[in-house]
Every structure is written in C-alpha cells, then in structure tokens.
Amino acid sequence: MSLISLGVVALDCPDPQALAGFYAEMLGWRVEDNRDGEWVEVAGPDGRALAFQRVADYRPPQWPGQDAPQQLHLDFDVARADIDEAERKVLALGAKLVQHDDGVRDWRVYLDPAGHPFCFCLQ
C-alpha cells in the first residue's frame, strides 16, 4: 500500500460555485457545502470528487493551441449508444463542442463553461 493517495483534482476558474454546478449536473454528483466561495467540491460515488478553486484574473486554456496551455483535461467514459444524449445534456448545461468524433476518432472534445477542455471517450 502506498503512503500517498490522490485526494482531489482541482480546477482553477472564475466562479467555483457555477462550475461545480455544471459538473455536478453533468455527472449526477452533488455539490458539497463551500467554505467561502473560493473552493467548492462535488462529491461522487466511492469517495471520488472534483474541486473548483477561484482564481483572480483567470484565463482559460486555449484548445488546441498552447498560447494558454491546457495543462490537463478530464476524460469521461460514455457508451457509444448514449453519446448523442450525453452531448445534448452538456451543451444544454453550457459546454461547447470543439471537436466531433467524425466517425474516425473515438472521442469528442468540449470546453466547460470556464473553458477547460474535457472529452467524452466512447466505450
């Protein structure tokens, strides 16, 4: 057993409450009480969580360019049969489609409302 375990992945953003709400709704998770609006977490099953941290003068990454590098992105597994429904859901929540799978790739790339890239990976 390792001495170190992953606690949470935190995303910088201008509005932690709003971005936490986006991911909570997308994943069917719940927004945890925030302490002061500077840090908000969403909790999922089995102790999984994402956190969102307010950053002054936040600049979103530029995808696919590197002028403001993405540094990381999140991958979410979606059944091939459910991809269109999942896409409608995230677009209605405020995501933006930036790369369709076009029948060649097995993923679609989106930007969340704060501009972080994330992918739906077809299963």
Strand runs labelled E in the chain:
9-13, 30-31, 39-43, 49-54, 74-78, 96-99, 107-111, 117-122
pLDDT of residue 5: 67
Topology (CATH level 3) of domain 60-123? 2,3-Dihydroxybiphenyl 1,2-Dioxygenase; domain 1 (3.10.180)
For the sheet containing 9-13, what is the strand order?
9-13, 49-54, 39-43, 30-31
DSSP character at residue 36? S
Contacts by 109-112, CB closer than 8 A, 24 or more apart: 109/63, 111/60, 111/63, 112/19, 112/22, 112/23
Pair of tokens at residue 31: 């927004």
pLDDT of residue 40: 94
Topology (CATH level 3) of domain 1-58? 2,3-Dihydroxybiphenyl 1,2-Dioxygenase; domain 1 (3.10.180)
Cβ atoms of 110 and 119 closer than 8 Å: yes
pLDDT of residue 35: 72
pLDDT of residue 1: 65
For the sheet containing 117-122, what is the strand order?
74-78, 117-122, 107-111, 96-99
* Sequential pLDDT tens for the chain (123 residues): 664 566 788 888 999 999 999 999 999 999 997 778 889 999 998 888 999 989 888 888 877 766 766 667 788 999 889 989 999 999 999 999 998 777 677 888 999 999 888 888 888
pLDDT of residue 70: 60
pLDDT of residue 38: 87
